[in-house]
A = this chain, B = another copy of it.
Amino acid sequence: VKHAIIVAGGSGKRMQSATPKQFLNLNGMPILMHTIKVFWQYDSAINIVLVLPAAHITTWNSLVDKHQFSIKHKVVAGGLERFHSVLNGLNTITEGIVGIHDGVRPLVSLNTLKTCYETAKTAGSAIPTTAVVESLRQKTETGSVSVNRAEFLNVQTPQCFDVQQLKPCFNIGFQNSFTDDASVWEYAGNTVTLVDGNVENIKITTPSDLVFAEVIKLE
């Protein structure tokens, strides 16, 4: 059984827009619908769980009506931190492989989805990564230092896990060190398997990201 927990909690501050960024239109349809659609294109039988801030559920329902969006999905209310939102989604499923995905990553490729879900099925987990192209600096107490970008990887989503192995990891409770779902998994003593993601699979956070996504989706 395959599941997708799509987490859409962002407020859109960086987008300079009053509309939560996951609801912004990308070629005429909200970003979040594009994201859901890719998972459905990958596997039309996948169980899609959409986690939204409680305050946005009414808006979402009216967008679904307006766009006559027909891909089946369950809506669950989110929590205080991403950790709690994912947990609310996890509480609706019991077994199989789950991919936890950012709602504002509509450019994930079918190939990335395939690699992640198939790897997680045999390895227990799979998270997509890409090479760091920009030079990096690390902040220090007194300023910052150059670091070697070749030692780092960008981490994307979906982060895929065996559901029965992942659920106990979330029983530990929220820690400030949890930056993504893989860090919850690792904190519980598991190791993550890295796979290659697709470079276009950016998190849409700025107006120029949206422009980029529009062009890629039209191609």
Residues in A lying within 8 Å of B, measured CB to CB? 129, 132-139, 143-149, 151-156, 177, 179-180, 182-183, 186, 191-192, 194, 199-200, 202-203, 205-206, 208, 211-212, 214-216, 219
Q: Which chain B residue lies CB-closest to A130?
A: B134
Q: How many copies does the complex hold?
A: 2
Query: What's the Cα separation between A198 and B62 when bound, in Å?
Result: 36
- By a CB distance below 8 angstroms, the chain B residues around A206 are 199
Q: Which chain B residue lies CB-closest to A145?
A: B186
Given contacts A139-B152, A179-B149, A212 and B208 within 8 Å (CB-CB): yes
Provide 5 A-B residue pairs closer than 8 Å at the C-beta atoms, listed in order of the A residue: A134-B155, A143-B192, A199-B208, A200-B208, A211-B219
Partner of A146, one of B182, B212, B214, B215: B182
- By a CB distance below 8 angstroms, the chain B residues around A194 are 137, 143-144
Query: What's the Cα separation between A108 and B182 when bound, in Å?
Result: 34
Q: Establish whether residues B152 and A137, one from each chain, have CB atoms under 8 Å apart when the complex forms.
A: yes
- By a CB distance below 8 angstroms, the chain B residues around A155 are 134-137, 146
- By a CB distance below 8 angstroms, the chain B residues around A177 are 146, 148
Query: What's the Cα separation between A199 and B202 when bound, in Å?
Result: 13
A152, A186, A216: residue with the most chain B Cβ atoms closer than 10 Å: A152
Partner of A205, one of B133, B153, B192: B133
Given contacts A136-B155, A139-B152, A155-B134, A146 and B186 within 8 Å (CB-CB): yes
- By a CB distance below 8 angstroms, the chain B residues around A148 are 177, 179
Shortest beta-carbon contacts, A-B, top 5? A135-B155, A134-B154, A146-B183, A212-B212, A137-B153
Partner of A180, one of B135, B144, B156: B135
Partner of A133, one of B136, B152, B203, B219: B203
Query: What's the Cα separation between A148 and B129 when bound, in Å?
Result: 16
